């Protein structure tokens, strides 16, 4: 069929005024398969401000902090030294260190930042982190900054975020802002920090403040070995509510802040991953979309974008993961946790909660309102994974309370069997009538039989609106009513009696869900065109070239410089411009879907040329795959490489696919395959586990639309770690009692060995067997009976499942 040209296009979209929907970025529509889960620490310090490096050399500078975090397997680290203590040179070095780490330690991401550190004892103050800023500021003046750097109150800080703060990636489309975080809300005293979380008046401030630290390790600077976990403590009979981080989190949500939970280290003693084993390895989970390129800045921007989109969870257990999505049955969603969206009036909202912890049972899962009241909960779950959905009707949503900003706010809380907690970012839901627009009003055919076509879309997401009645009129006279299909498309067959000019109108009168709108165009039944397209075959996830040829029928002339729109099974995939031979080529990546699909090419028409379209078939291929695994041998605490090779069933290597590595069922890392199909991770440090022996390395390709899933097991032969035993030399008078000390550690990480039974000997004679304490120290007593002279103190360890046998010696001098 040949469509008729349309000119002098008019369109009306109903305005929604102050009730317009705000949807958190298109990242909300990212597919789950495309997202990368990063486990991060978003609060840490180095010696550039007030950290100590005497015993913790990793705290010397941001560069050493990033190197340490990467070497210990952390996905991302934000170094946030106190802004008041950073001079400009240190700030410049901090920013560069983050870029260098992101470039050198792929896929690790380093983020630079600073902590605005006003006193925590005054309501209009508190501590806040700022990430990705070009400048650093402070709450008070020191020898490291100037008066221009000082913003001494919370309101001044908020104003700086709104008007003066500039993100390192601000030049990108949309001019993204810096990201800010409320830190340790209950630290020190339980008072009204951050002005009791009263909402900032400027929406730009509210946009920048994206995170809330529901868990934080606050180290006491007056006691190097002291630590205080300001965790996600819930209200109970023994805890005052104002000391609960969740209490203040709910206060912030109730006030209208759109803040997602984080759980961080606030490290001042290095140990940016494990907190010196003084507490559980917490983390902030971040779902990051793949960066546009592999550059360090692009990867930093992708992580910052994930924080801006609030796709996070705060976990007291780094093994655990939590994902919450919502679906109102409107393409292209579901929405990710952290999203703000409107639901169709009269529709259903399905909220899906998924959680897992390979090392601990999940005891209770709750979907909570902003005030902490459960909308749904599952108790006594007692399994290591959870996947359940809650379906909320329009009346359910109407019954829920709203925040001070008029939004429904629902967040997720998971309680593990050992009492550790996970918090998922909220969903913010508004329920106004959505905006709609009629677009792509087109006529296909010639004088006589024609077909009208229009698309009804949401004005906020451009998703098609299904099941709506569209009225077509010609010269003001209705000629038919059509119900839109699942893509929002309405088509009507009609007859035009002669080659004249007509006015065509498509109108949607609105309903309880969507606002009214219309589109109008002029039909000029004159110059006919023909558009033909070709069949194509390609592998899912690979690129095929969609091709069409456009010519004018009157003189059989190929038409150059004309735009042709391509769609697959009704979904637009892009446009291309015809060349001198009338050919339009569009490179398109084959997505998962049916094996045979319809390619549709459309020329929409221009002045003097009638629109036309053509159809062809796309055959989508899917390949079987196979995996090669590689055995490895290494000692406990030693480093080895995990490696696998991914191949097609015909032995052709498969590049650019993510391979998951697991050891004895515990997830380690995901790595992409290279051009030869190899996926490698050369930084696997063998953990203690059950000791020496054989462990299973499992390499897993989860599959995608074009390549089926496959896995392969290999053997990791684990050898015992080597001991390192240092004996303290002693000097005593003849007949005195001496205290014997030995420090027992292991190679290669020099970890202190607690609970190891060792034997003290003096010149080969056993004098005492003792057990090492929590610091790996063995302590004994010996009553000397020998004459004056030089003797040997020897400490022997017989070995166990984790540590080889070994000994250390030193001198005993008796005078």
Mean pLDDT of 676-684: 97
What's the pLDDT at 222? 46
pLDDT computed for residue 145 by the predictor? 94
Residues of the chain with CATH 2.60.40.10: 3-16+435-524, 529-621, 722-814
Encode pLDDT of 299-342 as tens digits: 999 999 999 999 999 999 889 999 999 987 765 568 999 998 87
pLDDT of residue 405: 83
Show Cβ contacts of residue 589 under 8 Å, excluding neighbours closer than 6 positions.
541, 542, 543
CATH of region 529-621, choose from 3.40.449.10, 3.40.50.300, 2.60.40.10, 3.60.15.10? 2.60.40.10
pLDDT for residue 16? 22
Quote the pLDDT of residue 25.
30
Q: Over 90: is that where the pLDDT of 275 sits?
A: no
Checking if the pLDDT of 576 tops 90, the result is: yes
> pLDDT grade, residue 8 (50/70/90)?
very low
Q: Is pLDDT above 50 for 376?
A: yes
Tokens representing 294 are 């592999």
Q: What is the pTM of this model?
A: 0.53
Superfamily designation of domain 722-814: Immunoglobulins (2.60.40.10)
Question: Which residues have CB under 8 Å from 521's CB, separation 6+?
Answer: 6, 7, 8, 9, 10, 441, 503, 504
Mean pLDDT, range 793-799, rounded to an integer: 96
Q: Which fold has domain 35-318?
A: TIM Barrel (3.20.20)
- Listed in sequence order, the DSSP H helices in 542-687 are none
DSSP annotation of 651 reads S
Whether residue 224 contacts residue 52, with contact meaning beta carbons closer than 8 Å, is answered with yes
772 close to 792: Cβ distance less than 8 angstroms: no
Nearest to 456 by CA among 520, 503, 507: 507
pLDDT band at 444 (very low <50, low <70, confident <90, very high): low
Phi, psi of 396 (to 5 degrees): -60, -50
Q: From residue 311, how far is each of 423, 449, 552 by CA, in Å?
A: 12, 51, 51
**C-alpha distances out from residue 175 to 48, 142, 165, 557, Å:** 30, 32, 12, 46
Mean pLDDT of 228-254: 64
Q: Average pLDDT of 276-289?
A: 77
Partner residues linked to 472 by β-bridges: 480, 506
What percentage of the chain reaches a pLDDT higher than 90?
63
Distance CA 534, CA 599 (A): 8
Q: What is the pLDDT of residue 300?
A: 96
Alpha-helical regions (H) of 565-636: none
User: Which CATH superfamily does the domain covering 625-719 fall into?
Assistant: Macroglobulin (MG2) domain (2.60.40.1930)
Say which residue, 689 or 122, is predicted with more confidence.
689
- Shortest CA distance to 208 belongs to which of 151, 162, 169, 256? 162
Strand locations in 220-282 (E):
227-230, 260-264
pLDDT band at 19 (very low <50, low <70, confident <90, very high): very low
Q: Give 235's pLDDT tier (boundaries 50, 70, 90).
A: very low
Q: Please, where in the chain does CATH 2.60.40.1930 lie? A: 625-719
Question: Rounded CA gap, 124 and 202, in Å?
Answer: 16
pLDDT at 478: 78
Pick the CATH number of 3-16+435-524 from 3.10.180.10, 3.40.50.2300, 2.60.40.10, 1.10.540.10: 2.60.40.10
| One-letter-per-residue 3-state SS of 530-560 | EEEECCEEEECCCEEEEEEEEEECCCCEECC
pLDDT tens, position by position, 726-735: 999 999 999 9
Which percentage of the chain shows pLDDT scores above 70? Answer: 86
pLDDT value at 738 more than 60: yes
Say which residue, 384 or 501, is predicted with more confidence.
384
DSSP SS3 for 230: strand
Q: Are 761 and 791 in contact (CB under 8 A)?
A: no
| Residue 624 CB-half CA count within 13 A | 2
CB 127 within 8 A of CB 230: no
CA nearest neighbour of 645 among 718, 589, 714: 714
Per-residue pLDDT of 347-368, as tens digits, reads: 789 999 999 999 999 999 999 9
Going by C-alpha positions, the residue among 529, 532, 497, 518 that lies closest to residue 606 is 529
């Amino acid at each position: 069929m040949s469509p008729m040209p349309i000119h002098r296009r008019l369109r009306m979209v109903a305005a929604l005024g102050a009730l317009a929907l705000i949807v958190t970025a298109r990242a909300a529509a990212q597919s789950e398969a495309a997202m990368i889960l990063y486990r991060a620490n978003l609060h840490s310090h180095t010696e550039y401000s007030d950290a100590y490096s005497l015993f913790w050399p990793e705290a010397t500078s941001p560069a050493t902090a990033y190197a340490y975090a990467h070497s210990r397997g952390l996905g991302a680290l934000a170094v946030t030294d106190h802004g008041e203590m950073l001079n400009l040179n240190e700030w410049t070095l901090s920013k560069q260190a983050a870029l260098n780490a992101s470039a050198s330690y792929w896929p690790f991401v380093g983020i630079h930042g600073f902590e605005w550190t006003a006193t925590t004892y005054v309501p209009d103050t508190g501590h806040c982190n700022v990430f990705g800023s070009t400048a650093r500021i402070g709450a008070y003046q020191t020898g490291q900054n100037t008066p221009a750097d000082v913003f001494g109150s919370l309101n001044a800080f908020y104003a700086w975020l709104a008007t003066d703060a500039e993100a390192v990636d601000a030049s990108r489309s949309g001019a993204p802002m810096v990201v800010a975080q409320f830190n340790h809300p209950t630290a020190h005293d339980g008072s009204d920090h951050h002005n009791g979380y009263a909402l900032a008046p400027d929406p730009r401030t509210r946009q920048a403040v994206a995170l809330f630290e529901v868990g934080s390790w606050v180290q006491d600077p007056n006691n190097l070995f002291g630590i205080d976990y300001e965790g996600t403590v819930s209200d109970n009979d023994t805890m005052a509510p104002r000391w609960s981080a969740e209490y203040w989190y709910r206060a912030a949500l109730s006030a209208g802040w759109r803040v997602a939970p984080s759980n961080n280290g606030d490290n001042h003693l290095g140990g940016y991953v494990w907190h010196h084993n003084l507490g559980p390895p917490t983390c902030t989970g971040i779902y990051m979309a793949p960066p546009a390129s592999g550059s360090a800045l692009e990867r930093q921007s992708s992580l910052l974008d994930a924080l801006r989109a609030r796709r996070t969870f705060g976990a007291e257990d780094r093994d655990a993961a939590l994902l919450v999505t919502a679906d109102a049955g409107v393409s292209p969603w579901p929405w990710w946790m952290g999203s703000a969206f409107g639901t169709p009036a009269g529709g259903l909202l399905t909220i899906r909660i998924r959680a897992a912890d390979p090392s601990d049972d999940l005891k209770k899962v709750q979907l909570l309102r902003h005030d902490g009241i459960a909308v749904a909960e599952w108790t006594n779950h007692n399994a290591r994974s959870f996947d359940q959905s809650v379906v909320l009707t329009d009346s359910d949503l109407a019954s829920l309370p709203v925040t001070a900003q008029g939004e429904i706010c629902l967040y997720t809380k998971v309680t593990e069997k050992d009492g550790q907690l996970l918090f998922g970012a909220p969903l913010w839901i508004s329920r106004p009538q959505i905006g709609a627009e009629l677009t792509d009003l087109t006529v296909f055919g010639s004088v006589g039989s024609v077909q009208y076509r229009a698309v009804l879309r949401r004005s906020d997401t451009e998703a098609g609106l299904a099941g709506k009645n569209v009225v077509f009129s010609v010269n003001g006279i209705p000629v038919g009513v059509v119900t839109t299909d699942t893509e929002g498309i309405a088509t009507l067959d009609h007859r035009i009696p002669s080659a004249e000019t007509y006015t065509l109108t498509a109108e949607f009168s609105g309903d309880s869900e969507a606002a009214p709108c219309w589109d109008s165009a002029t039909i000029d039944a004159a110059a006919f065109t023909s558009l033909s397209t070709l069949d194509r075959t390609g592998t899912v996830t690979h690129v095929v070239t969609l091709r069409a040829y456009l010519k004018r029928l009157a003189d059989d002339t190929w038409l150059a410089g004309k735009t042709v729109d391509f769609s697959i099974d009704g979904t637009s995939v892009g446009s291309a411009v015809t060349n001198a031979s009338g050919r339009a080529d569009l490179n398109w990546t084959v997505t998962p879907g049916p094996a045979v699909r319809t390619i549709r090419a459309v020329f929409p028409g221009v002045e003097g040329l009638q629109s036309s379209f053509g159809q062809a078939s796309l055959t989508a291929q899917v390949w079987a795959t196979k995996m090669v695994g590689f055995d490895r041998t290494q000692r406990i605490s030693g480093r080895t490489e995990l490696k696998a090779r991914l191949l097609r069933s015909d032995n052709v290597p498969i590049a650019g696919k993510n391979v998951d590595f697991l050891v004895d069922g515990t997830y380690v890392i995901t790595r992409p395959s290279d051009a030869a199909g190899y996926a490698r991770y050369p930084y696997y440090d063998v953990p203690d586990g059950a000791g020496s022996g054989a462990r299973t390395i499992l390499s897993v390709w989860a599959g995608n639309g074009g390549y089926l899933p496959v896995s392969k097991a290999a053997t990791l032969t684990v050898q015992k770690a080597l001991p390192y035993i240092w004996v303290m030399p002693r000097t005593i008078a003849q007949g005195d009692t001496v205290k014997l000390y030995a420090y027992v550690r292991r190679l290669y990480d020099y970890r202190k060995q607690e609970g190891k039974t060792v034997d003290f000997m003096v010149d080969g004679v056993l004098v005492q067997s003792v057990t090492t304490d929590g610091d790996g120290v063995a302590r004994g007593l010996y009553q000397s009976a020998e004459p004056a002279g030089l003797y040997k103190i020897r400490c022997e360890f017989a070995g166990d499942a984790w540590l080889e046998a070994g000994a250390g010696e030193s001198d005993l001098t008796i005078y």
